[in-house]
Amino acid sequence: MSVIYLEATVQVKQFIYGLEGMATLQLESVNLQSSRNNKGHHTQEMGINRLIVRRGQPFHLRLSFSRPFQSKTDHITFVAETGPKPSELLGTRATFFLTRVRPGNVWSASDFTTDSNSLQVSLFTPANAVIGHYTLKIEISQGQDHSVPYLLGTFILLFNPWSAEDDVYLPSEILLQEYVMRDYGFVYKGHERFITSWPWNYGQPSWTATNTGKGFEEDIIDICFEILNKSLYYLKNPATDCSQRNDVVYVCRVVSAMINSNDDNGVLQGNWGEDYSKGVSPLEWNGSVAILRQWSARGGQPVKYGQCWVFASVMCTVMRCLGVPTRVVSNFRSAHNVDRNLTIDTYYDRNAEMLSTQKRDKIWNFHVWNECWMIRKDLPPGYNGWQVLDPTPQQTSSGLFCCGPASVKAIREGDVHLAYDTPFVYAEVNADEVIWLLGDGQAQGILAHNTSSIGKEISTKMVGSDQRQSITSSYKYPEGSAEERAVFMKASRKMLGPQRASSPFLDLLESRDLRNQPLQLQLHLARMPKWGQDLQLLLHIRRVPDSTHPWGPIRLVVRFCAQALLHGGGTQKPLWRHTVWLNLDFGKETQWPLLLPYSNYRNKLTDEKLIRVSGIAEVKETGRSMLVLKDVSLEPPHLSIEVSERAEVGKALRVHITLTNNLMVALSSCRMVLEGSGLVNGQIAKDLGTLVAGHTLQIQLDLYPTKAGPRQLQVLISSNEVKEIKGYKDIFVTAAGAP
């Protein structure tokens, strides 16, 4: 028997005669109709040369035989298998017969028609089938004769958010296009008051038909299943692991653990330092495709390096590729509450310097995770919908570094007893911040108790738009409302127990002493801050009555300190100090200018280009201290991208990129990287040299789009001085030859 594969068609030549001289029914060819099926299953972007379908939805085959099919005497049995040891008991093997009518939500072959020697048949996979790579066979028999097996081919089965019977069903075509099909988007970074949109190429349907000399590059879909097959669960028991891939909750947890490499040979190795010499800085990634292909090409060795937005963006690619509606979410001022007491402590000394601590608790400037849409059959009713998944390795869950899925509804209602990892995520958006004054190694008092400073501007990309959408209200009730405090106390009792939830410490935090201060202090920016320029600030002070010193003037000394603010919420050593002495009469207010020279912060900032300016005012008459803070984000140069004509598949598209260095210093070792699914195959990288201060860099290049529809070109220019100068351009590509 010879088998020839041509456009998903199997041709078989064999002639055998059965009883009574009638020729035995022999399979001559198979047409998997990949192009038609893939289009109907919304997988055509992953390619049309092989069959990729979604569960809970029929697909069609055409079988050609050596003679006409006789339904009364010819018996055809279909066999579908996936995994290393297919088993009907485990749900990784299905045997089903040819029937006239589909029997329901089970494996079936039905609705067949005959035409000469051909049989057109509809195959159906149940909406709870195991996802994965399948082998499809048939066995043909006549009467009591023994059956003859034939290999029909292979196909890939994915989750189906278009099917009402699937646990990932999302009943909105607009949302499906956004959260499954769209291959680009934005990550929101920076600071709650200086939010920047960071374009990202998810590239989940990417495939390459170019022979590289080392064989064909693997499609992203293949790499996604390779990730599942390298998990510790698979390595421990492959057959059992595959059998659980019908459960989206299980698959999400496996992927969450495999995107980081803390327990295994996961996709990305985290690095929250400043030395990326052994890999790529997290700021220099434009998209997921290059990361996933590098991981696969190197045999599953972790790619260096990632931070939270890279972990979450890569997981978004994988989950969308597998068929799970997924989005990337940013939480500004995100708590990492290791001891689960719903309180994050930070410390300052009398010179206004923020101090490092041995405690692992921290407040990230921002943290990025995923939300996946699914039904939660493992939870009580009411917790379906968006679920938090976090692949960044912050803490273990069931022994592995993964997080979720945690129901967003459960987080909002304080139902922290529900699986998975809901207490941890609840604290990320709801913990209280307590700021302490430290002196002689001892806590001297509480400077502030902030009940609303954590979990700010929770953001994701708006559907069908490049705008940012705040989804904070999905996670919690309005800050300070009766509902919000009631939920906080409910979660506190569950996490801390009734005794700790009503401790003297919490009573102290609620005391009026923290709110009864003789001054109101604020720090303002005098002008828009730009990297490479002096920073100008104004201290605004207003005298108000208080119980200890209601009238008359007061004397105060205000000590200032500026420090580079790290992504993890900590700071570096002070880069600027300043002291101001003031006398202020009752009812009066004043402004005091402050200047932080560029020379003080040059070469002392991290890649985030964030500065925390802190001030502690000490009232001489009472000895009491007050804290004032201002976080400053320095604006990088602006990148402009323009296209000169209509974009069409296969035709040259001229792109103009312009960068003006409006800083006071040159940008050295500039390097440009372009990426964009359907516009660029992989990446285009180019070294640009040095861009002198005040000069403009202009770049022109031609792209040849390969896919029609809405696309996004992402451009990153990095330098020694500024790591992330990013821009993007939305481009609509028409089909070849379209009018």
- Euclidean distance between the first and the last CA atom of the chain, given in angstroms as a whole number: 48
Q: Are 63 and 117 in contact (CB under 8 A)?
A: no
SS3 assignment, position 151: strand
Paired with 540 in beta bridges are: 522, 591
Phi, psi of 433 (to 5 degrees): -110, 125
Question: What one-character-per-residue DSSP string does 163-189 give?
Answer: -TTSTT----HHHHIIIII--EEEEEE
Active site (annotated) includes residue 308? yes
Find where tokens 């896919």 sit: 707
Query: Of the residues 166, 167, 241, 390, which is catalytic?
Result: 390
CA 157/CA 153 separation, integer angstroms: 13
* Residue 657: strand pairing partners: 641, 699
Pairing type for strands 148-158 and 132-142 reads: antiparallel
Q: Output the DSSP codes for 330-399.
A: EEEEEEE-TT-SSEEEEEE-TT-PEEP-S---EEEEEEEEEEEEE--TTS-TT--EEEEE--S-SS-BTT
Neighbours of 345 (CB within 10 A): 15
CA separation for the pair 567, 570 (Å, rounded): 7
d(CA 332, CA 365): 6
Burial class (CB within 10 angstroms; exposed 0-12, middle 13-18, buried 19+) of 380: exposed
| CB 103 within 8 Å of CB 96 | no
Place of tokens 């680009």: 184
Catalytic one of 336, 367, 449, 567: 367
- Give dist(CA 314, CA 266) in Å, integer: 12
Tokens of 572: 């570096």
Rg of the chain in Å (alpha carbons): 31
Q: Which one-letter amino acid corresponds to residue 670?
A: C
321 three-class SS: helix
Residues 6+ apart with CB under 8 A from 654: 643, 644, 645, 700, 701, 702
Encoded tokens for 237: 């028991």
Separation between Cα atoms, residue 95 and residue 72, nearest integer Å: 20
Distances (CA, A) of 58 to 88, 97, 138, 184: 21, 15, 17, 29
Compute the distance between CA of residue 477 and CA of residue 423 in angstroms, rounded to an integer: 17
Beta bridge partners of 445: 437
Distance, CA of 158 to CA of 231 (rounded, Å): 19
Burial class for 403, CB neighbours closer than 10 Å (0-12, 13-18, 19+):
buried
Place of tokens 């995520």: 425
For residues 565 and 612, the answer to whether their CB atoms sit within 8 Å is: yes
The half-sphere exposure of 257 on its side-chain side, counting CA atoms within 13 A, is 20
CB distance 434 to 509 below 8 Å: yes
Instruction: Output the CA–CA distances (angstroms, integers) from residue 508 to 9, 434, 640, in the order listed.
Output: 76, 11, 53
Q: Which residue carries 């000169």 as its tokens?
A: 644
DSSP 546-567: -SSS-SS-EEEEEEEEEEEEPT
- Residue 466 identity: D
The SS3 call for residue 106 is coil
Cα 212 to its chain centre, rounded Å, is 30
**Residues belonging to the active site:** 308, 367, 390
